[in-house]
Amino acid sequence: MTSQRTRERLIQRLCEEGVANPKVLDAIRRTPRHLFVDEALAHRAYEDTALPIGHNQTISQPFMVAHMSELLLEAGPLDKVLEIGTGSGYQTAILAQLVERVFSVERIKVLQDRAKERLVELNLRNVVFRWGDGCEGWQALAPYNGIIVTAVAPEVPQALLDQLAPGGRMVIPVGPAGETQQLMLIVREEHGFSRRVLGAVRFVPLLNGPLA
């Protein structure tokens, strides 16, 4: 169930759903998603579905990982990307193959520690991790050319807007937890921010405060 043929079926499905960026598809193809879920769920790793990873968190649906990555890269290559919500590390691993540097913040330390181990195992070494409150971003290393948020916020955190470089892009789900939310693309323009609503999604909530 973790064979190359199974992975190719997933790639075919993503193409049918509209993912077109060849670099994103190649990163999904190369990345062993079964390493990012519990062994008991490994047989479902290449289904196009979100799966539980403990601590009331999920590994995102492959289509959503591909879609958000593609949106981030829509205007060209990115040097420096901030990820809010390391989670299992799967989205982190995809980003690490697509951009120069990834800075990933996670509030649940045990999840981030496991994610670090997985990325070392895959020899992905252009990622720096921080255990902390994702709502605050990572001010010390700002600004970022791209920001990707993998949990839903009731509104876009001002701290993240402030940390976006001129011309930078943010992909973030916005809306009430537990209900239908909207995926948004925000671009920092010369005189403010442009916002594009991209469709309905459902994500776990972005919560304040680190958790050991």
Active site residue 88: no
* Res 164: pLDDT: 98
- For 60, which DSSP code? P
Closest CA to 84 of 180, 178, 172, 197: 172
Helix (H) or strand (E) holding 86: none
- Interacting residues of 9 by C-beta distance below 8 A, sequence separation 6+: 46
Q: What is residue 178's predicted lDDT score, i.e. its pLDDT?
A: 75
The 10 Å CB-count burial string (b at 16+, else e) for 22-38 is eebbebbeebbbbbbbe
The DSSP secondary-structure symbol of 172 reads: E
Q: What is the pLDDT of residue 212?
A: 58
Enter the tokens of residue 163.
């940390």
Q: Which residues contact 49 (CB under 8 A, 6 or more apart)?
A: 61
Check 3, 60, 69, 88 and give the catalytic one: 60
Which token pair is 199? 């469709």
Radius of gyration of the chain (CA): 16
Note down pLDDT in tens along the chain; length 212 residues. Answer: 557 888 999 999 999 999 999 999 999 999 999 999 988 999 999 999 999 998 889 999 999 999 999 999 999 999 999 999 999 999 999 999 999 999 999 999 999 999 999 999 999 999 999 999 999 999 999 999 999 999 999 999 999 999 999 999 999 999 987 778 999 999 999 999 999 999 999 898 888 777 75
pTM for this model (two decimals) = 0.94
Note the pLDDT of residue 167. 96
